[in-house]
Structure 1
Amino acid sequence: MILNESLKVDFMRRLRNRVTPKFPKNIFKEPLFMDRAVRYLMENYRSGEINSAYIYARLGETAGLFVIALSEGYHIKDIAKTAKLTPGEVRTTVIKAVRRAQMLNLLPVFDDPMSQEVNFVVS
């Protein structure tokens, strides 16, 4: 899913004008954060270990915008309204970008059985 260029330019400004960021009580109940790679990006962005350029380089401009907005505390419904998409399309865009980045070894693969055996976390 590719956003219109005019939406990309002022996406975060328009989102800030629409609502103020407020984390829900349990942000990880959002189905998007059930994916460990998305959670990894969000947690590291919030802690300051990675910056927005890292996310854009791995996920691309559209999915990167969505992950950064989610990391700053905006609800997925507000992000979808601002992007003129449905919440499902936002989730799909992010998941596809994460899978593509993992396939190109730009992000760690958390669900790989071989990496679990190496780290002695066999289930």
Structure 2
Amino acid sequence: MKFAIALFAAPHQPSSRRALRFAQAVIAQGHEIVRLFFYQDGVYNASSAVVSGQDEIDLPSQWREFVDQHQLDGVVCIAAALRRGALNDEEAARYSRTAASVQAPWQLSGLGQLHEANQIADRLICFGGA
């Protein structure tokens, strides 16, 4: 089965960890993840600027490792990222900002990527959000 996974929650929210565990289970069961899409506060899961407390799980780091390990398509909504200061090198330069916090394996792109993922996946599973 092909899954698309959308994450709307920040790393400190329980649904972010649930989304990661679900994604790990999907791969472990031999299914496919066609795309991970991070939207709204979910973009913080792709930011290297997020620092977790010493007694907390570093979910952004775990997400990065998971995406790298399985060579997944990890997309961060560009509009949501810009509003939250999560920029890659190109956007940091475009807006004259001094730092970028979104690097590979993540790519910034638009909502069309979520729509496309929904079209090619058998299931779109969403975590977090209002």
User: TM-score category by the smaller chain?
Assistant: under 0.3
Q: Considering Cα pairs closer than 8 Å and 6+ residues apart, tell me whether 1 or 2 has the greater RCO.
A: 2
Q: More helix by proportion, 1 or 2?
A: 1
Structure with the greater alpha carbon radius of gyration:
1
Q: Looking at secondary structure, tell me which structure has more strand per residue.
A: 2
> TM-score with structure 1 length normalisation?
0.27
